[in-house]
Structures are given as structure tokens and as C-alpha cells.
Amino acid sequence: MTRTAHSEGRPTPVFRECDGAPWPSDDELELETEWAAFHESGDVEWWTGEEPAQSGEASSAAVPAATPGGATSSGTSDSDDGWSIDDLLSPLDGGAAAVSDIDARLGHLECVVNDRQRATADEYRLILAILDDAAFDPTPWVGPDPTLDRAWNDPRGCTPGAVRRDRIDLAERAAVAEVAVRLRLSEQTVRTRAAHVRTLAVGCPQLWTAFSEGRVSEKHAVDAARLASTLPAGDDAAFQRFDDEACPQSLVLPPAKFAVAARAIRFLFMPGRPAHPVYAKQHLHAPERAIFSPGTGGFSFRVGDVELALSVCYDANFPEHAAAAAAAGATVYLNSGAYFPGGERRRDLHLAARALDNGIYVVFSGLVGAPSDFIGGSAIFDPLGRRVAHVVEREGLAIADIDPAVVQEVRRDQRMWIDRRDDLGSFDRSGLVALQPGSAPRS
């Protein structure tokens, strides 16, 4: 073992708060070296700054044989530079030891979670295996097959094939019931878990492998299986594309964000079909930002001669969102939202302003009732900002005619849309202006 150079002359890294722990001191490093030397049974080649001796030549560096008492092999005491057995038994103290302990605990936690996820996948796999075995060989569950006896005659007049099908069905039901009782689950949960395994193992092998190896959580696997089960049966290309796109996301995204990404993958990528565009909410409240990612663009679609733009809840609170939709050619601005009690005035003010500012129709669908006593307020506003249809705090349907000609007529009369400037130039400030006493006009 070669001892490193003394700390003198070595650059000391700059400690940052984000590093989590200070750099070990020189004394700690020295103690670590002594501890390593002790564990190597004293066979230490001390570094002296000189080139190592050639083979066959005498070494110019002596190897001190220190004893726990602090005396060297010559018998002299070295109380200043010596070290005690207590130092060797606990070479790290303070911050360095604490950080090492934290790393060990976090590593242990990762291993525990990985083992738990792998065990969960094994549970799912065993459930499917038990049900498949019951279907393949019903005898352990429902007894011998009577149709194998040539003298057998069914009193109900059923054919041997029908009886065998009934045996398989009864065996599967018995297996499901037994698993449900032993695992304290509902029978529906047992069947669902078996179906999830079959979907992933057959259709999405990459996702199933990641789950069975403990690299993704049960929530990831369940969400992926539910979405994959909606793909066209027998469409191997669709399953492969979903597996290829969703598996990498499952390894890096938390469950909530993965559910959003996997849902987008499911509907965006369908082999043999054009991509199905979707709209994602662009303005998120603070609690939503912790879970979701905002959308990156607007979206509209055409029904007859009418172009309709989409928005979600908080989007309608921002004038520029509706203005961008109108600039893209939309004459109807659709919004769905949920307002709490007391938000009636703010809700109606926002929606009417979006309509009048841009000379467009605004159609609002309001959530009413549970889970938070939402106040509804579904309504339609015309291009002048007038509410022309309304449902008051209850379930119902607001209906009004949409006339593109009205949009053009209003824009000719209320010219805010036509006279809007794309660029207002720079914004200058003149600083603080002091008003003389008595100079302000009295109202």
C-alpha cells in the first residue's frame, strides 16, 4: 500500500452548502490513512516524495512499526505524532461520519424499495400463474373429470365439452376465491391483477421486465397496463410502439407525471392512424405545478364554418390566452372550469372580458357540486360580452346559436381587435414625481 502525499501543498476544495457536508479535515484524512495502514497489518510503503527504489536496491524509506502504546520499534515514545487504538477504532467523527451514515441509510432504503417492488411483481405473477394452472388442470380444484368415464351420463343432458368448460370456469372461480381469502383482497382485485400481468407480459415486455426487476413501482405498472388494455386487440405494432415509448418514461417520471405522459402516448401514437392532437392546460396553479407539466401550445378544431379553441379553467384568467386563440382564427373560445363559492363575479368578469376583448363567443362549462361545493355557472357569452345562455348553480345545459357573421359585425363596431398593436415598444420610467401640496385637483 502506498501512502498519499501529505496534505500540505494539496489544493483544498471550496465547500458549498449544496454539497451537504464539509470536506474532511487534514486530521481526519491522516487518521484514515493510519487506520488503513493498521488494517494492512503494518505492510505500508510510506511515500517520501522520492522515486521508488529499483529492484534489488535498498529502500531509502524506513517503515516504522508503531505499537498501540505509541512506541516505535526502537523503543522510543512518540507521544506527539503517535496514535492510540481508540483513534483506529473510530477514525471518523462529526460531519463526515454523519454523512456516511446518511448515505448508508439512503442506500438501504433504495434496496428495500427495490425489493418491495420486485416482490409486488412476483405477487402479480403468481396470481396469474395460479389462475392459469387452474384453467389448465381443474382437477385439484373441482375433482376428477367425470367425462373420462365411458359409462358417465350427464343427468342434465350436457355434452362432455360443455361439462369440461364448466369445470374450467368453476376451477378458475375457486382459485380466485382462495387467493382472495388468503391475501385479504376482493375477487375483482385478484382478477384485475392477473389481467394486468397478462397485458404487460404479453403486450409490453419492456414494462413488465422493469416492473419484475423492481425498477418501477406498482402504480407505474398498473397505469401502463390499464392504458395498454385499451389498445386494439391483436395489434402487435400498437403494443410495441406503446411499450417502446412508455417504458423509458416509467423509469424517470414519478407516478402522477407518468400517468399523464402514458395517456398522451396512448392517444398520440396509433399505428395506421394520423396523430390525434390534444390540448394540455397551459396555466397551472401552484398545487398543480408540483404534479403536472404545463402545455406548450394552443389547440383548435373546426366544426362546419366555426373554429373552436380549447382552454382549461385557469387559462381563461389570462387575456393573452384568448387573444392567441383569436389570432389563430378561432371565433369560439371553449373553457371548462371549477369555481368555489364567492367566485361568481370574478368568473363572469373574466369570461365576458375574453369575449369583448377579442370579439368572439365564449362557451363555459362549470363544474357544480362535489367534491368541493363548486358553483357551476355554465354559460355562453356573445362577442359583445353579453351572457346569452346560463345555468344557475345546478346541472343543466346552456344552449345558444353561434353566428360567425355576428363576430365580423362586432369587430367592425368594437374595433379593439382590429386596432390592437402587436408591439408597444419599450417601456420608459421617469422616476419619482413629487407633487406640491395643493397642486392636486380636488374632486
Grid cell of 383 as nine digits = 362577442
Q: Specify the pLDDT at position 206.
A: 95
Q: What is the mean pLDDT of residues 151-171?
A: 87
Please identify which residue in the block is written with the cell numbers 362546419. Answer: 304
- The runs of H, that is alpha helices, within 40-93 are 85-89
Q: Specify the pLDDT at position 37.
A: 59
Sequence letter at residue 97: A
Please identify which residue in the block is written with the cell numbers 416492473. Answer: 211
| Pairwise CA distance, residues 282 & 12, whole Å | 47
User: Taking all residues of the chain, what is their mean pLDDT, rounded to a whole number?
Assistant: 80
Q: Specify the pLDDT at position 210.
A: 95
DSSP 8-state class, residue 307 = E
Q: Specify the pLDDT at position 428.
A: 79
Grid cell of 244 as nine digits = 417502446
Q: Specify the pLDDT at position 372.
A: 73
Q: Are residues 206 and 247 in the same domain?
A: yes
Please report whether residue 438 resides in a domain: no
- Expressed as residue numbers, the domain containing 368 is 286-419
pLDDT reading at 137 higher than 90: yes
pLDDT reading at 131 higher than 90: yes
Q: Are residues 113 and 239 in the same domain?
A: yes
Please report whether residue 236 resides in a domain: yes
Please report whether residue 151 resides in a domain: no
Q: Specify the pLDDT at position 58.
A: 44
Q: What is the mean pLDDT of residues 365-380?
A: 86
User: Higher confidence at residue 3 or residue 361?
Assistant: 361
Please tell me which of 31-35, 170-174, 257-261 the model is most confident about, judged by mean pLDDT. Answer: 170-174
Q: Are residues 248 and 319 in the same domain?
A: no
pLDDT per position as a tens digit, 189-215 = 999 999 999 999 999 999 999 999 999
Please report whether residue 436 resides in a domain: no
pLDDT reading at 4 higher than 80: no
Structural domain count of the chain: 3
pLDDT per position as a tens digit, 11-23 = 555 544 444 455 5
Q: Specify the pLDDT at position 132.
A: 94
pLDDT reading at 390 higher than 80: yes
Beta partners for residue 336, in sequence order: 312, 365
Task: Give the number of other CB atoms < 10 A from CB of residue 390.
Answer: 16
Q: Are residues 329 and 252 in the same domain?
A: no
Question: At a CB cut-off of 8 Å and minimum separation 6, what does 195 contact?
Answer: 225, 229
Q: Specify the pLDDT at position 46.
A: 47
Q: Are residues 298 and 397 in the same domain?
A: yes
Q: Are residues 200 and 126 in the same domain?
A: yes
Q: Are residues 319 and 372 in the same domain?
A: yes
Q: Specify the pLDDT at position 264.
A: 81
Q: Are residues 331 and 254 in the same domain?
A: no
Please identify which residue in the block is written with the cell numbers 500500500. Answer: 1
Grid cell of 341 as nine digits = 363559492
Q: What is the mean pLDDT of residues 343-365?
A: 93
Report whether 358 contacts 417 (CB < 8 A).
yes
User: Higher confidence at residue 57 or residue 427?
Assistant: 427
Please identify which residue in the block is written with the cell numbers 508503531. Answer: 66
Report whether 196 contacts 221 (CB < 8 A).
yes
Residue environment code for 134-152, b if the CB has 16+ CB neighbours within 10 A, otherwise e: beeebeebbeeeebeeeee
pLDDT band for position 102 (cuts 50, 70, 90): confident
Q: Specify the pLDDT at position 38.
A: 57
Q: What is the mean pLDDT of residues 299-324?
A: 91
Alpha-carbon distances, residue 274 vs 51, 264, 295, 395 (angstroms): 71, 14, 21, 36
Report whether 202 contacts 217 (CB < 8 A).
no
Q: Are residues 88 and 110 in the same domain?
A: no
Q: Are residues 263 and 294 in the same domain?
A: no
Please report whether residue 427 resides in a domain: no
Q: Specify the pLDDT at position 175.
A: 95
3-state DSSP: the chain helix, strand, coil percent, rounded to 5?
Answer: 45, 10, 45
Kindly report each contact of residues 13-18 with a partner whose C-beta sits within 8 Å and lies 24 or more positions away, as own/partner: none
pLDDT band for position 88 (cuts 50, 70, 90): very low
Report whether 268 contacts 298 (CB < 8 A).
no
**Phi (first) and psi of residue 157, to 5 degrees:** 80, 20
Please report whether residue 430 resides in a domain: no
Q: Are residues 84 and 126 in the same domain?
A: no
pLDDT per position as a tens digit, 34-72 = 666 555 544 444 454 455 445 444 444 444 444 444 444
Please report whether residue 424 resides in a domain: no
Q: Specify the pLDDT at position 374.
A: 87
Question: At a CB cut-off of 8 Å and minimum separation 6, what does 229 contact?
Answer: 195, 199
Q: What's the pTM value of the predicted model, to 2 decimals?
A: 0.46
Q: Specify the pLDDT at position 73.
A: 43
Sequence letter at residue 288: E
pLDDT band for position 150 (cuts 50, 70, 90): confident
Q: Which of 6-10, 41-45, 119-123 has the lowest mean pLDDT?
A: 41-45
Give the CATH number of the domain where residue 414 resides.
Answer: 3.60.110.10
Please report whether residue 440 resides in a domain: no
User: Higher confidence at residue 96 or residue 127?
Assistant: 127
Grid cell of 218 as nine digits = 406498482
Q: Specify the pLDDT at position 44.
A: 45
Q: Specify the pLDDT at position 63.
A: 41
Question: E strand or H helix at 107, and its extent?
Answer: helix 94-136
Q: Are residues 324 and 407 in the same domain?
A: yes
pLDDT reading at 221 higher than 90: yes
Q: Specify the pLDDT at position 378.
A: 93
